[in-house]
Structure 1
Amino acid sequence: MAIPDFLAELRLYVGSERLWLTSAHAVVTSDDQRLALVRRADDGAWSIPGGIVEPGEHPADTVVRECREEIGIAVEPVSLVLVDVSPTFTYPNGDKAHYLDLVFRGRHRGGVLRVMDDESTEVGWFSPDTLPELDGYQRRQIDTALSGDVAAAFTLSRRDEAATSHPPPQP
């Protein structure tokens, strides 16, 4: 699985130590309201499409680029729906990363959904009622995107047991 050049260069200095990175993902819906999901090659889990925001890149542009490069579709980012912090990921090569995740709601605007690179093994369109098994983190991203809220949601530190989630303010 290829990593961006800037990250490969950074890894020369920090090795496999945990890095704080920014990622952008999208809950992409088709005209018939099905969701585009991708099965990751590294861990076999289903997830929404997206990836690392490259230096100087706008996060919405990351979503457009990642969907085109990884799953072959054109996507229109509609709104930012969630700002979240990922758990720490440890990749098969030992690299560790923690992500500031920016999750968008997006619309399919063209192209045929298909595996485009070695980062995934399978892709598919799924009805929200018949999604494959997803971890709680992915599920929260999808549920938030489909909730219909206009403002982006964010979560508070999991260390604060009294307040684990903050919904967007009501207009």
Structure 2
Amino acid sequence: MATPDFIREIRASAGHQLLFLPGVSVVVFDDEGRVLLGRRVDSGEWSIIGGIPEPGEQPAETAVREVYEETAVRCVVERVVLVDALRPVTYPNGDRCQFMDICLKCRAVGGEARVNDDESLEVGWFPVDALPGLDEFALFRIKQAMTDEPTWFAPMTEQ
């Protein structure tokens, strides 16, 4: 995912220290029950769509914007799937981040899936029983989005 300008501005004074940032991941289904995936430029791996909210932007707005920016698919948000503080990551340049991921389930309402920016190598619709190799992050979110369970929260750590 491209680093938003406001994060670059923070990094100019914060250096590589750990930043706790919001993130939105999106599981988009079409009318046939297929899942929209993108093959990421940074890793070459297939995954669900996601990104960082702009300042003042609501998570649902982020989901709709990111899906369109990356895939040219229009979608509507149906529900919150999960909220999860992810493990901290260190990027090759030394920047450290920890994301609070809000995963949303969306339904496609228009557009044709195609690469629509420089963050994806490919995009496409996949039947849930024929997904390409996905990491646990994406698989868990797809699984949770397919259920009628309430929003999933990570177990609380003992204090």
Q: TM-score, normalised by structure 1?
A: 0.86
Identity percentage of aligned residues? 44
Is 1:78 equivalent to 2:78 in the alignment? Answer: yes
Q: Distance in 2 between matches of 1:24 and 1:2?
A: 14
Find the counterpart in structure 1 of residue 100 from structure 2: 100
Could you tell me which runs of 5 or more consecutive residues in structure 2 were left unpaired when the two chains were aligned: none
Q: Distance in 2 between matches of 1:6 and 1:77?
A: 25
Query: After TM superposition, where is structure 1 displaced by more than 4 Å over at least 4 residues in a row?
Result: none
Find the counterpart in structure 2 of residue 135 from structure 1: 135
For the Cα contact (< 8 Å) 1:42–1:91, is it kept in 2? no
State the SS of the aligned residue for 1:115: coil
Computed over aligned residues only, the root mean square deviation of the Cα atoms, in angstroms, reads 1.5
- Relative to structure 1, is the Cα distance of residues 132 and 93 closer, same or farther in structure 2, using a 3 angstrom cutoff? same
Q: Distance in 2 between matches of 1:92 and 1:12?
A: 17
- 1:17 deviates by 2.7
Q: Distance in 1 between matches of 2:81 and 2:2?
A: 28
- 1:108 deviates by 0.4
Q: TM-score, normalised by structure 2?
A: 0.92
The CA deviation string for residues 109-151 of structure 1, in whole angstroms up to 9 with x for no partner, is 10111111111111111010011111112211111111122x2
Is 1:55 equivalent to 2:52 in the alignment? Answer: no
Could you tell me which runs of 5 or more consecutive residues in structure 1 were left unpaired when the two chains were aligned: 161-171
- 1:93 deviates by 3.4
What is the total number of aligned residue pairs between the two structures? 158
Amino acid of the structure 2 residue aligned with 1:143: K
For the Cα contact (< 8 Å) 1:42–1:92, is it kept in 2? no
Between 67-76 and 93-102, report the one with greater CA deviation.
Answer: 93-102
Find the counterpart in structure 1 of residue 154 from structure 2: 155
- 1:91 deviates by 3.1
The CA deviation string for residues 52-72 of structure 1, in whole angstroms up to 9 with x for no partner, is 012111000000010111111
- 1:46 deviates by 1.6
Amino acid of the structure 1 residue aligned with 2:144: T
Amino acid of the structure 2 residue aligned with 1:155: A
- Relative to structure 1, is the Cα distance of residues 24 and 78 closer, same or farther in structure 2, using a 3 angstrom cutoff? same
Q: Distance in 1 between matches of 2:46 and 2:141?
A: 13
